[in-house]
Amino acid sequence: MATTAQTRDGDRVVDSHPLAAELAKVLPKDRKFTAYHLSTPPTIADPLCLPPAYNNTSSDSKDRRPSKPLKTYCEKHFLAISIGAGKEEAHREKEILVLGLEIYIYTTSFSTIIFVSKADSTGYLNLLNLPKGTPSPIREITSCFLAFLVANRRRQSKQLVVNLFARAQSQYLFAGSVKNNGKHILDDRGLVKWWCRVLNTLLEGADYEDVRKPWESMHGYLVIPGLDNYETRAFLPRTSLATSNWTLNHPLEKISPYTNDPDSFGTNVHPRSLIPMYPDDPKARFVQELEESTAEKAKLLNGWKTPKTLDQFWEMMAFRQECSSGRLTGFLWVVFEPKADSKPSSSTAKPAATIPTPNASFSTTTDDVTPPTTPRPTQRGNTSLTTPGASSSKLNGLRTRKLRRKHKAKKVLSGPIIPRKPQIKTRQREFPKLVETPYYFWPKNGRGQVVLNDNSYKRAIELLLHLEFGTLEQGVLSTARWTREVNMGENWALEIVGERAAVDSTASSSSTEETVNNLSGVVRKKRSADEATSESVLSSPAVNTLGDSLIRKKAKLDASTTTTSVGPEAESEPKANVLGAGLVRKKPKA
């Protein structure tokens, strides 16, 4: 990964940020994009899974208590991509957001979980007028950003999981974008297939071989409640390695720290301690309902009344509102297992690096200085007898202290009053001092261009949710306001110019045509109807056919005349006698 080196050129930032370099490799050649990467430092968060009870020797003990929850940190990332707002004169130098990705990184002493919280587009990507056959930039950016986080958040001997649930919705981040006719809104089935293709690039994509090298193994998992394996298999990508790289099941038992420590928690951990709960997660709402309906002692002894297993849990999830009523919700995982030879011993831990923060006060350490020995104060006993000398000395000491306090002269302020500028509290004071601990890893390359605390990050996302992207005018104004207010007016854009060459569709079509022509001598073509009839006539025996003079056609009656019109073939035959009108005898009327 490249190191960050910024140089300013007017108002634009020419940045060699590692994320900008990775995105440039997958974007169309000579196309300009702008990235805005926002993140937070790792902060203490609620544990993802409920802690199980201690593994007591007596399983029937009624005084079982829950174990201590895992210490969990959460780091939030938000990536926004913008492009030029078209060729109109009014928007030639303007920008419009086209993509937003929100990702949470949960870390414990056992694993790292990259959870995709939200992903949305505005539909204005068609302003680039990309040629037909160009890979979708939105899919390429999403895969690249996930691979970037996987590469920069890898910890030795720690498992890493990429997790998300796909639920179709018209808009997540950009309000009013559903009014844009250019926005391609996928249904539930199309969205699950789209995310499977995105995560499949991490498993077998040629662009991310360096990301896969440090890991021992990678594997994908897919669960769609309400569908069997035969129906779920249709959502996987149509590649040769998809069958071996994907499993149509969940990995909750494999990625849980409780099942990997049977000495402390036993071999049979209840499903309530294996299901992670994320923000706005259908699983979390179901688990919360089950927790509220079960007594605390019953949960520690036997868990929920129902479901008792994870398979029963997923069966019941199929009847939930989020997964039923004609909609599908897909749960996807990609598990990265570390190499066995790279596991360091727990006794020889690496010293944690520190972050040099500006305007920080440093104090000298007193580890090598022995403090002076002072006598301990005597404790009060039941005896009330004291010597008169000791009592008088105490009283004299109290009097002298009071006199010193009274006679302390106050400092008189004099001179001109100089106003002092208000000092803004820097965000550096809330940043952690350690870059690497047993619970999280916060490298410099993986941070955003703007790093905010948790409260400031929430305000930035809330501001984006209240903006409007229904029309191009509204989207341009909303983009300018959001990018300006997040970093308090300072420029924090990452300029990206695509480097991937476009695939020539005409050349590919001509090559396929040549291939088909070369197989003309081998492929048996379907015969036309004329060829089939001629071949059948030649193969069948000769049939005696009558000439035109021997065929007598049936006479046709003409409605306009009483004569019979015949064909030219029957002109030689004698004509029939026709009675005149005077010779016809009519029947008298009654």
Active site residues: 281
Look-up: residue for tokens 């990625």?
Answer: 255
d(CA 26, CA 139): 10
Neighbours of 175 (CB within 10 A): 18
Sign of the Cα torsion 480, 481, 482, 488 reads positive
- Strand-pair partners of 118: 102
Residue 201: its H or E element: helix 188-204
Look up residue 178 and give its amino acid.
V
Q: Which SS3 state, helix, strand or coil, does residue 585 take?
A: coil
d(CA 415, CA 234): 82
3-state helix, strand, coil in the chain (%, to 5): 30, 20, 50
DSSP string for 159-200: EEEEEEEEE--S-SSSTTGGG-TT-----HHHHHHHHHHHHH
List, in sequence order, every beta strand (DSSP E) within 365-465.
Answer: 450-451
In angstroms, the Cα distances linking 541 to 361, 460, 535, 537, 551 are 111, 88, 12, 8, 23
Cα angle 115, 121, 127 (rounded to 5 degrees) comes to 145
- Number of H-type helices and E-type strands within the chain: 15, 15
d(CA 479, CA 474): 9
Look up residue 327 and give its amino acid.
R
Asked if residue 71 lies in contact with residue 93, where contact means CB atoms within 8 angstroms, the answer is no
What lies within 8 Å, CB to CB, of 320 at 6+ separation is 225, 282, 286
Q: List the one residue out of 564, 558, 561 whose CA is nearest residue 577.
A: 564
The bridge status of strand 95-107 relative to strand 72-84 is antiparallel
Q: Which SS3 state, helix, strand or coil, does residue 36 take?
A: strand
Neighbours of 26 (CB within 10 A): 21
Q: How far does the chain reach from its first CA to its final CA, in angstroms?
A: 118
Asked if residue 158 lies in contact with residue 173, where contact means CB atoms within 8 angstroms, the answer is no
Residue 311: its H or E element: helix 310-317
d(CA 573, CA 178): 83
Look-up: residue for tokens 């060699």?
Answer: 16
Asked if residue 66 lies in contact with residue 53, where contact means CB atoms within 8 angstroms, the answer is yes
d(CA 422, CA 416): 19
